[in-house]
A and B are shown apart, each in its own frame.
Chain A
Amino acid sequence: MSFANLLGLWVAATLTIAILSFLYRDNPLYKFAEHVYVGVSAAYVIIYAAKFTMEQQLINVFKNNLISYIQNGSTTGLVEALLLIIPTILGILMLTRWAGPKIGWLSRWPIAFTIGLGAGLGITAGIQGVLLPQVQATVEPLWISPPSGLNLWTAIGSLIMIAGVVSTLIYFYFSRPHKGFIGVVSRVGIIFIMVSFGAAFGATVMARVSLLIGRLYFLVNEWIGGTIDFFKALSP
């Protein structure tokens, strides 16, 4: 391991400990680490966007297409170069919201474009990708043609799923008071919802513990272990 790598390890370990120190109480070391994280992430994203989006996707493509038109007379190149002016203008208009209320309203145009695009794509995907396949998967046949035949556990699972879907939907049906039959079914719906909340909570606990494991594993094996290995390698 090089000295630069060791230095990097120490910086990472110090920042990890600084973040973990919040568990004791809020402190300047934690604040420092938090600000470093936000700053570095923002800087990385800006540099990346400038290099790989602005330069690669816009400037280079525009330049190449224009050169191809000038050198070879390619009309396709000219059209593609001119087409790039539209997103460039929309992008610049998005920034006008910071230029005051006089021209700030211009930023609504690119926002309207984005919302329109998002809605158009989202509606199709919502129906084609989520609603229809999920409805189809809910109505599972209990009897599967031979050789599978009737699988008892699969059939019970399918029935429970239908009961869960129907009772949960009825729980969110507010056009009638939840009394009598609807009241009973909606109570069953609450049980299903609670079970799903429990599963989500359990999975969240597992996720958070995994993060702690990852950091402690880094501190023990990579930071302490790495430092020991570095000095062992130095000693004759």
Chain B
Amino acid sequence: MKFIRWLTKIDRRIIFLLMFGVVLVPILIDIPVETDVSPPVEAAYNAVDTLKPGSVIMLSVDYDATSYPECHPMIEAVSNHAFRNGLKIILVAHIPTGLPLGQAAVEEAALEYNELHKAEYESALSKALSTHPDTTSPGYRLAVEEAALANQKRYGIDYVNLGFRPGMVPIMVGMGREIRDFYAQDYKSTNVDSLPMMEGVHNYDDIALLASFAHGIQVETWIAYAGARYGQQIIAGVTGVVIPDLYPYLQSKQLTGLIGGLKGANEYESLLGRKGLGTKGMPAQSTAHILVIFLIVLGSIFEFILNIFSRRKS
């Protein structure tokens, strides 16, 4: 009994140490974990996958550093997926400190794509040089541009970052009329009209899909304003804390797909065939959950035993 009593009053720092251990070991040793893709993640994947090449997808960065490990792998995976399928990306942010994180994710995805297609790009360049030996000729320039369009992802042509604007709701409503009313310039203070990608992109009618990566109420706000008022198709990538709040919207089909937490990122990555932080973090997530379940069960059993003994005594 003494031992059980001691265990129920164990120093919480020992629990922290145990948690630290069960998370650290799978990070050090690569343990393979099987992934079952859930229907909400599959729906989010299909929503991106079925878009026609050249379609515009808006990524809303509604998280910051405090949710980085959960939301960042999702935005990386969706950006990668979008570039693979020839989609154009518009980045907006409703949290100013989240903006550089979103920018980094899209730039990394562009870099990854460019690295992957480096050989094709270089071969197209050498072909252009052999066809048009004069590098100042319009023919050569055109061939180079075509090679870049086919094999490279560049700022202003394949993705733009419109930055952060304060006042989330009026912006969401106003973008239904004209994006330029709020984002006349991008995050580098470049005039939006001078960016080739933004030609013909004015409001939600020109955006095929909106993906919000959030750690708060932003997804619900997107649904209430852009979704309900303008019929914008929306998918979300959210932290674990937000998942239960969004299931009703998934059931009512106001949300097309939902990527929830690190597990959701892992599922999306597995569909994409890409090993990101979601996949790498899954073994640690599993061992940590096993520890939490074990501690809850053990604690409940001990409390039950102690209750019985105290009742018998009294």
A interface with B by C-beta (< 8 Å):
23-24, 41, 44-45, 48-49, 52-53, 56-57, 61, 117-118, 121-122, 124-126, 128-130, 133-134, 136-137, 161, 196, 199-200, 203-217, 220-221
Q: Which of B228-250 contact A (CB under 8 A)?
A: 228-229, 239-241, 243-244, 248
The answer on a CB contact under 8 Å between A204 and B241 is yes
A52 contact set on B, CB distance < 8 A: 163-165, 187, 189
Q: How far is the CB of B15 from chain A (nearest CB, A)?
A: 10
A210 touches which one: B70, B169, B184 (CB < 8 A)? B70
The answer on a CB contact under 8 Å between A217 and B241 is no
Given A23-B16, A133-B228, are A216 and B24 neighbors across the interface (CB < 8 Å)? yes
Interface centre among A23, A124, A129, A213 (most CB of B within 10 A): A213
B24 contact set on A, CB distance < 8 A: 216, 220
Given A134-B248, A203-B243, are A56 and B69 neighbors across the interface (CB < 8 Å)? no
Interface-located stretch among B43-51, B119-127, B136-144, B257-265: B257-265
The answer on a CB contact under 8 Å between A214 and B253 is no
The answer on a CB contact under 8 Å between A205 and B292 is yes
Complex alpha-carbon distance, A31 and B159, angstroms:
40
B19 within 8 A of A: yes
B252 touches which one: A24, A45, A117, A136 (CB < 8 A)? A136
The answer on a CB contact under 8 Å between B285 and A210 is yes
Given A128-B228, A129-B228, are A214 and B69 neighbors across the interface (CB < 8 Å)? yes
B interface with A by C-beta (< 8 Å):
13, 16, 19-20, 23-24, 27-28, 66-70, 96-97, 99, 163-166, 169-170, 173, 184-185, 187, 189, 220-221, 223-225, 227-229, 239-241, 243-244, 248, 251-254, 260-263, 277, 280-281, 284-285, 288-289, 292
Provide 19 A-B residue pairs closer than 8 Å at the C-beta atoms, listed in order of the A residue: A45-B97, A53-B165, A56-B184, A128-B229, A129-B223, A129-B254, A130-B220, A134-B248, A203-B241, A207-B70, A209-B292, A210-B261, A213-B23, A213-B27, A213-B284, A213-B285, A217-B27, A217-B281, A217-B284
Q: How far is the CB of B187 from chain A (nearest CB, A)?
A: 7
The answer on a CB contact under 8 Å between A45 and B228 is no
A44 contact set on B, CB distance < 8 A: 96-97
Q: How far is the CB of B182 from chain A (nearest CB, A)?
A: 8
A124 contact set on B, CB distance < 8 A: 229
The answer on a CB contact under 8 Å between A24 and B280 is no
The answer on a CB contact under 8 Å between A129 and B251 is no
The answer on a CB contact under 8 Å between B96 and A129 is no
The answer on a CB contact under 8 Å between B289 and A206 is yes
A24 contact set on B, CB distance < 8 A: 13
A137 touches which one: B27, B187, B251 (CB < 8 A)? B251
B23 touches which one: A129, A207, A212 (CB < 8 A)? A212
The answer on a CB contact under 8 Å between A121 and B173 is yes
Given A56-B184, A206-B285, are A212 and B228 neighbors across the interface (CB < 8 Å)? no
B66 contact set on A, CB distance < 8 A: 211
The answer on a CB contact under 8 Å between B244 and A196 is yes
Complex alpha-carbon distance, A196 and B229, angstroms:
29
Complex alpha-carbon distance, A3 and B38, angstroms:
43
The answer on a CB contact under 8 Å between B69 and A220 is no
Given A44-B96, A52-B187, A204-B240, are A214 and B228 neighbors across the interface (CB < 8 Å)? no
A117 contact set on B, CB distance < 8 A: 170
Complex alpha-carbon distance, A118 and B96, angstroms:
21
B241 contact set on A, CB distance < 8 A: 200, 203-204, 207
